[in-house]
Chain A
Amino acid sequence: MPTMTMPISLAVNGIPRVARVAAHHTLLEVLRDDLALTGTKECCLVGECGACTVMVDGRVVDSCLVLAVEADGADVVTVEGLAGRDGRLSALQGAFLDKGAVQCGFCIPGQLMAAHALLAQHPHPTQAEIEEGLAGNLCRCGCYEQIFDAVRAASDAAPETLETPAARAARTAGGARAGARTSDEGLDQ
């Protein structure tokens, strides 16, 4: 069955990436299958559960609802981009660990990205803002209380520790796209 494909280039966690993607493939599929970034999870595929939450150009999105071609030129941050290159956990990740905000863990990448976006917008969120900011991220284990605790603990941390490598790169080098290049090499789609 012929499939229309097109090349896209994007920055993922501050690293320029290229891919040739089918026109109908989602950002979730490209992250997981083409770029082997499997931290972003697949569950409902209709934008209800939040397991696939990532940030695109600073906005929090369900990557199952974004076509990969729409992310051409975008700056994408996934859960893999929260820790430093040296592996040091971000304040938010550390807070999730310390507060026990993880049970099975499957929803946690999405929870972290939603919380990360929430804190970027509201560095000191109220309880209502936390609940609303995470309302699109289901946790069937039900560790919502611990997730709230973690978000509160992280909000007490200094703002720069919340910054991701991608954001840092964008701030210091005038945008991660500067280094992006388009190439079809090694692509099989």
Chain B
Amino acid sequence: MTAPARVGESPNRVGGIGRVTGAQRYLADIQLADALHAGLVTLDCARARILGVDASAALALPGVHLVLTAADLPQPVPRFGPQREDRPVLAVGETKYHGEPVALVVADTRELAEQAAALVRVEHEELPAVFTVAGALAADAPLVQDPSLRPDDPLARTNVLREHRAEWGDLEAAVAAAPVVVEQRYTFPMVTHFAIEPHAFMAAPDGDGLAVWSTIQHPNWLQRLIAGLVGMPLSKVRVYAPDPGGAFGGKQHAKYEPALVFAALRLGRPVRLVLTLEETFQAVRRAACESRVRTGFDRDGRILFQDIEADYLIGAYTDIADRVVGKGSYPAAGPYNVPAVRIVARSVLSHTVPSTAFRGFGNPQVNWAVESTLDEGARLLGIDRLDIRLRNLARRGDRFIPFDTPCDGDWAESVRLAAGRIGWGTPLLPGRGRGIAVGIKSGPTTGLSYSIVRLLVDGSVVVYAGTSDMGQGARTVLAQVAAHELGAPLDWVTVVMGDTAMVPYDQQTSASRSTVLMGNAVLNACRHVQRQLAALAAGLHGVDEAEITVDAGLVRLPDGIELTPLEILKPGLGRLGGELTGLGEARKDAEPGHPLGGAPAFFEFNCTVIEAEVDEDTGDVTIDRHITVSDVGKALNPLQVRMQDEGAAIMGLGHTLMEHYLFDEQGRIRNLGAIDYRIPTSMDLPRELHSEAVENADGPGPYGAKGMSEGALLCVAPAVAGAIREATGVTIRDLPLSPERVWRALRDARSEGPAGGVER
């Protein structure tokens, strides 16, 4: 045994060896004997009426077993979804977006399934469709969802799925009184998760039950969904969720698992489907957003009101998108004390890929607009952009959003740290500019995680946790917590995840919750084990159990003697052996009166400062320095915290500088796949990327930790745009800030001259 592991250290990643040797089994690496392969049948347009499906040519191919269409499913065709059950297992009547499967072909090989899918003739008639906010809101717009799917909904005859309002203070009075008002519009494009592991699924009959494999983040949610769809008890549906190869929110909820389950049950054999990257682009994306922000200031730069309207372009089915809109827009007024606020955010349906959760969960879209507007206000007022933020920032305990979680950090400390690192206010090299932005995101509003921890007789530990380790490092952090509490070396701890037949319930892996919620569940399970250790020690040493303390892996007797768990376990458990088993729970109940169903467990706060230069001949933006500071409470594993922070920052550079879906007039995505949709590579990084964590041990997680995996993405776009503005005098309000867009903006500014708003 090596020395016990401690929290606050950065040991090598648990599961890392398999990841550097190729031994790690991702879903697509798991081969089941006798498995058949599925392929998707899709149309080359967005919305079309399905007039008929002729599968005869496909079925005539030797080795093709099944062409499953909506007609082969239980009627009415089951619909599902985490928020509204509106997505059919396969398209019913009409396709709603480019890439929606009309049928599932099952064959002996993947290649044969693809060939057969191409032979399925779908007679169809293309229908008018909407792909933009303006198109969807037009008076004569075709409805994306049939009103029958929206009973008792006054908006059912529109493409507005829901309007979310958050209001406090007297907005009208504030507008009337504000000496300075800035109003602007901003757009944020559709972008996609682009996890390097495309989504993959398998389903197989399993004795008198069913086994489902998925790259999903929420295996327990999937288990409930499938059990409900096929009418089996939960105990007969076993979901295997191998560690996803990146997820970023895109793998939270089911996509094609239900179709695969029906195919596997029909054929009595395992069926697998590994999506191509192109198919994954057609399965998950972030909502685009058009925002109008009106901000009022007093002469000292104090924000008097925020009046925000945001139209999020969600897709054809709800998935979790409307929750993204509601929760993401709720803190849109930012981490500031603002006396009067009106936020109106709408979920706008369209004939596009259903948008879903994506790192940042609806906040980056509005933060881009609100922080950029703040910059414009500062410029008008002649106030420094750092100062105006510090002047308005909420302080610890401030109820900056009424009835919500109060400010839970020393946020100004993060801002000052970030500004200091870049030398805010110091002279710039010619052609360069700086930008600054802050952002918050609400953590989980409800949650429930269970964990079982077994302390084995030799002092080694097995932790059962239903969290998905999709790269964020949950497996390592949870192992560190158990090792720390039970005095074991890290490599004596095994963390079992991703199997609903083995691992107790966990609500989900989302909202940067796992260190806090599952971390507390593991901690509580360890405490349960510690109580049993204390009882054993009391018996062995003839002392009162209440006088024994167990902490950080040491058992302390009343006389001051310290023993390791091992010194208690062997004699205490005796000849028959055995083990100590702890059960832990972490629960955050719903608050029915709260607009979000609950106040967040914590806020993720980030400040990002950018120094950039612009090549005025090409429009190319180079990020010279990118400083990100996140308030993390306590870094249980500082290296992993830094990597999550940097990863979020780099992902933010993607939507800021290069990423967006392009559509043609038929709603087809023109840049499907890795050639035409670019994400940051090793050549696109800031010259200097610097991540720091503020640690005040003020979070609700173990040892004061907060969740922190999304914050650094919130501020990238406004900070980069602010730097471009300072470098060139040009303000751009549409993303991405691609060379073409920047070059055009510079050209337009030059042709308009100084009257066009250019200040050099």
Distance (whole angstroms) from the CB of B622 to the closest CB of chain A: 13
CB–CB B647/A46 < 8 A: no
Distance (whole angstroms) from the CB of B514 to the closest CB of chain A: 14
Residue of A79, A82, A112, A138 most packed against chain B (CB within 10 A): A138
Distance (whole angstroms) from the CB of A96 to the closest CB of chain B: 5
Among listed B445-453, B564-572, B638-646, interface-contacting one: B638-646
Distance (whole angstroms) from the CB of B715 to the closest CB of chain A: 16
Residue of B nearest to A133 (CB): B682
A88-115 toward B: CB 8 Å interface, digit per residue (1/0)?
0100010011101011111111001000
CB–CB B195/A93 < 8 A: no
Residue of B nearest to A25 (CB): B111
CB–CB B643/A108 < 8 A: no
Residues of A within 8 A of B61 (CB): 1
Interface SS, B side: loop
Asked whether A132 is an interface residue with its Cβ less than 8 Å from the other chain, the reply is: yes
CB–CB B12/A105 < 8 A: no
Distance (whole angstroms) from the CB of A55 to the closest CB of chain B: 14
CB–CB B22/A44 < 8 A: no
CB–CB B22/A142 < 8 A: no
CB–CB A143/B16 < 8 A: no
CB–CB A80/B13 < 8 A: no
B12 is contacted by which of A97, A106, A130, A142 (Cβ under 8 Å)? A97
Distance (whole angstroms) from the CB of B652 to the closest CB of chain A: 9
Tell me the bound Cα distance from A46 to B673 in angstroms: 8
CB–CB A100/B195 < 8 A: no
Asked whether A83 is an interface residue with its Cβ less than 8 Å from the other chain, the reply is: yes
Tell me the bound Cα distance from A57 to B472 in angstroms: 36
| Count: A-B pairs, CB below 8 Å | 164
Tell me the bound Cα distance from A143 to B706 in angstroms: 21
Tell me the bound Cα distance from A118 to B138 in angstroms: 55
Asked whether B184 is an interface residue with its Cβ less than 8 Å from the other chain, the reply is: no
CB–CB A45/B21 < 8 A: no
Residues of B within 8 A of A42 (CB): 28, 198, 274
User: With A44-B673, A89-B17, A106-B196 as given contacts, are A144 and B274 in contact (CB-CB < 8 Å)?
Assistant: no
Tell me the bound Cα distance from A2 to B525 in angstroms: 59
Tell me the bound Cα distance from A107 to B523 in angstroms: 32
B21 is contacted by which of A39, A49, A135, A148 (Cβ under 8 Å)? A39
CB–CB A131/B26 < 8 A: no
Residue of A nearest to B31 (CB): A36
Residues of B within 8 A of A20 (CB): none
Tell me the bound Cα distance from A44 to B25 in angstroms: 19
Residues of A within 8 A of B683 (CB): 131-132, 135
Interface extent on A, as a size class? 35 or more
Asked whether A163 is an interface residue with its Cβ less than 8 Å from the other chain, the reply is: no
B14-36 toward A: CB 8 Å interface, digit per residue (1/0)?
01111111111110110100000
Residue of B nearest to A36 (CB): B31
Residue of A nearest to B640 (CB): A100
User: With A105-B245, A106-B26, A135-B681 as given contacts, are A141 and B647 in contact (CB-CB < 8 Å)?
Assistant: yes
B180-201 toward A: CB 8 Å interface, digit per residue (1/0)?
0000000000000111111000
Residue of A96, A103, A136 most packed against chain B (CB within 10 A): A103
CB–CB B20/A96 < 8 A: yes
Residues of A within 8 A of B648 (CB): 142
Q: Which of A3-39 contact B (CB under 8 A)?
A: 32, 36-39
Residue of B21, B61, B246, B646 most packed against chain A (CB within 10 A): B21
CB–CB B685/A144 < 8 A: yes
CB–CB A104/B196 < 8 A: yes
User: With A103-B472, A140-B246 as given contacts, are A89 and B20 in contact (CB-CB < 8 Å)?
Assistant: yes
A55-95 toward B: CB 8 Å interface, digit per residue (1/0)?
00000000000000000000000111011000001000100
CB–CB A44/B674 < 8 A: yes
Tell me the bound Cα distance from A106 to B246 in angstroms: 7
CB–CB A48/B471 < 8 A: no
CB–CB A44/B277 < 8 A: yes
CB–CB A143/B473 < 8 A: no
Distance (whole angstroms) from the CB of A77 to the closest CB of chain B: 12
Asked whether B102 is an interface residue with its Cβ less than 8 Å from the other chain, the reply is: no
Tell me the bound Cα distance from A130 to B683 in angstroms: 10
B196 is contacted by which of A96, A138, A146 (Cβ under 8 Å)? A138
Asked whether B80 is an interface residue with its Cβ less than 8 Å from the other chain, the reply is: no
Tell me the bound Cα distance from A46 to B672 in angstroms: 12
A143 is contacted by which of B18, B470, B646 (Cβ under 8 Å)? B646
User: With A41-B196, A89-B17, A140-B196 as given contacts, are A100 and B643 in contact (CB-CB < 8 Å)?
Assistant: yes
CB–CB A102/B20 < 8 A: yes
Asked whether A155 is an interface residue with its Cβ less than 8 Å from the other chain, the reply is: no
Tell me the bound Cα distance from A130 to B682 in angstroms: 9
Tell me the bound Cα distance from A43 to B61 in angstroms: 28
Q: Which of B23-62 contact A (CB under 8 A)?
A: 23-26, 28-29, 31, 61
Asked whether B519 is an interface residue with its Cβ less than 8 Å from the other chain, the reply is: no
CB–CB A145/B646 < 8 A: yes
CB–CB B20/A93 < 8 A: yes
Residues of A within 8 A of B16 (CB): 96-97, 102, 105
Tell me the bound Cα distance from A108 to B196 in angstroms: 10
User: With A51-B196, A97-B13, A142-B649 as given contacts, are A135 and B471 in contact (CB-CB < 8 Å)?
Assistant: no
Q: Which of B610-665 contact A (CB under 8 A)?
A: 639-640, 643, 646-651
Residue of B nearest to A49 (CB): B674
Asked whether B679 is an interface residue with its Cβ less than 8 Å from the other chain, the reply is: yes
Tell me the bound Cα distance from A78 to B197 in angstroms: 18
Residue of B nearest to A80 (CB): B22
Residues of B within 8 A of A106 (CB): 26, 195-197, 245-246
Asked whether A164 is an interface residue with its Cβ less than 8 Å from the other chain, the reply is: no
A141 is contacted by which of B12, B112, B198, B643 (Cβ under 8 Å)? B643
CB–CB A104/B245 < 8 A: yes
Residues of A within 8 A of B112 (CB): 1
Tell me the bound Cα distance from A131 to B680 in angstroms: 12
Tell me the bound Cα distance from A143 to B25 in angstroms: 21
Asked whether B377 is an interface residue with its Cβ less than 8 Å from the other chain, the reply is: no
Residues of A within 8 A of B194 (CB): 138, 140
CB–CB B646/A103 < 8 A: no
CB–CB B115/A1 < 8 A: yes
B112-125 toward A: CB 8 Å interface, digit per residue (1/0)?
10010000000000
Residues of A within 8 A of B470 (CB): 104
Tell me the bound Cα distance from A97 to B20 in angstroms: 7
Residue of B nearest to A44 (CB): B674
Asked whether A162 is an interface residue with its Cβ less than 8 Å from the other chain, the reply is: no
Residue of A nearest to B678 (CB): A48
Residues of A within 8 A of B496 (CB): none
B17 is contacted by which of A41, A51, A97, A109 (Cβ under 8 Å)? A97
Asked whether B176 is an interface residue with its Cβ less than 8 Å from the other chain, the reply is: no
Distance (whole angstroms) from the CB of B56 to the closest CB of chain A: 16
* Extra pairs beyond A104-B195, A105-B16, A131-B682 (16, CB < 8 Å): A49-B196, A82-B21, A93-B21, A100-B13, A103-B472, A103-B473, A105-B243, A108-B20, A136-B681, A137-B682, A140-B193, A140-B651, A142-B649, A145-B685, A146-B643, A148-B682
26 A-B contacts, Cβ less than 8 Å apart? A32-B29, A37-B22, A38-B25, A38-B28, A42-B28, A43-B277, A45-B276, A45-B277, A79-B21, A82-B20, A100-B639, A103-B473, A104-B243, A104-B470, A105-B18, A105-B20, A106-B195, A132-B683, A136-B681, A138-B681, A139-B196, A140-B651, A142-B648, A144-B682, A145-B685, A146-B639
Complex A-B, nearest 7 residue pairs according to Cβ-Cβ distance, in ascending order: A39-B22, A106-B245, A104-B471, A105-B19, A142-B650, A142-B647, A48-B674
